[in-house]
Amino acid sequence: MTPDRLRDLLARVQGGDTAIEEALRELRRLPFVDLGIATVDHHRALRQGVPEVVYGEGKTAEHIAMIVEEQERAEADVLVTRLSEDKASVLAARFPSFRYNALARVGAIARGSRTLRPVAPVAVVCAGTSDLPVAEEALETLAAVCLPSCRIVDVGVAGIHRLFARLPELESASAVIVIAGMEGALPSVIGGLVACPVVAVPTSVGYGAALGGVTAMLAMLTSCASGITVVNIDNGFGAAMAVHRMLPRAD
């Protein structure tokens, strides 16, 4: 249940348009519903301004569908991360409004019109094209929490002049999510150029000594650019949620 929906319900009860018993039936679904295979948290939108997100990896298509169906019943938006194409096809057949981004491995259902939050776009920057899946996951998550965004692709330190050409977009951003593999140097560079929050995402892109993203993560954690936030390897979702917490909300 979203804050707006709860306000509407309380206003209808106050105005006599909705009976108290009817309101109680609706509120019984708060704060959670036990499906046996999952406990769906309907209170999260009230606490954090975003509905519960489904992590698709390790779940069967049927289990994901059960959770999505419960969120639909509660009239909540839906975001499913780390979702394979075969599971996505099952969900698309069952839920006509389900949309899937194969590169991001993210599926979503957005209800009604969406009002973007009144902030400058969040810049999602990736060092190389190989980092795009993580960038797309971040972009899908930003859309789910109603944050405007812009995409800046393939501006890594191997050709740093490419980054300088995009400085106006970076300087005007409300926050920057910087995604990089290999040695993970790009967040330090951007962190020294902008004043807004910078969230760094190490990726598992790179040859042997990149250690599946560990090298990039350690480089970002030890950055000499002060105040950079670092999330886990390949975690575009986590970076976008960090920005969601940093920036002002309409409610």
Q: In the chain, where does the domain assigned CATH 3.40.50.1970 lie?
A: 122-246
Per-residue pLDDT of 128-142, as tens digits, reads: 999 999 999 999 999
Determine the Cα–Cα distance for residues 221 and 229; give it in Å rounded to an integer: 8
Q: For the chain, what is the mean pLDDT?
A: 89
d(CA 169, CA 154): 15
pLDDT at 225 over 60: yes
Whole-structure pTM value:
0.84
What whole-number distance in Å separates Cα of residue 57 and Cα of residue 80?
9
Stated as kind and residue range, the H or E segment containing 192 is none
How many alpha carbons lie under 13 Å from residue 42 in its C-beta half-sphere?
Answer: 23
Q: What is the reported pLDDT for 62?
A: 94
pLDDT digits (tens, 9 = 90+) for 52-77: 889 999 999 999 999 999 888 877 88
User: Tens of pLDDT along 11-34?
Assistant: 777 777 778 777 666 665 567 777
Provide mean pLDDT across the span 187-211: 96
Which CATH architecture group holds 122-246? 3-Layer(aba) Sandwich (3.40)
**The token pair that represents 65 in the structure block:** 């569908």
Residue 164 gets which letter from DSSP? H
Contacts of residue 46, defined as CB under 8 A and 6 or more positions apart, other chains included, come to 1, 2, 3, 6, 30
Tell which residue, 164, 95, 156, has the closest CA to residue 130.
156
- Token representation of residue 28: 């019984």
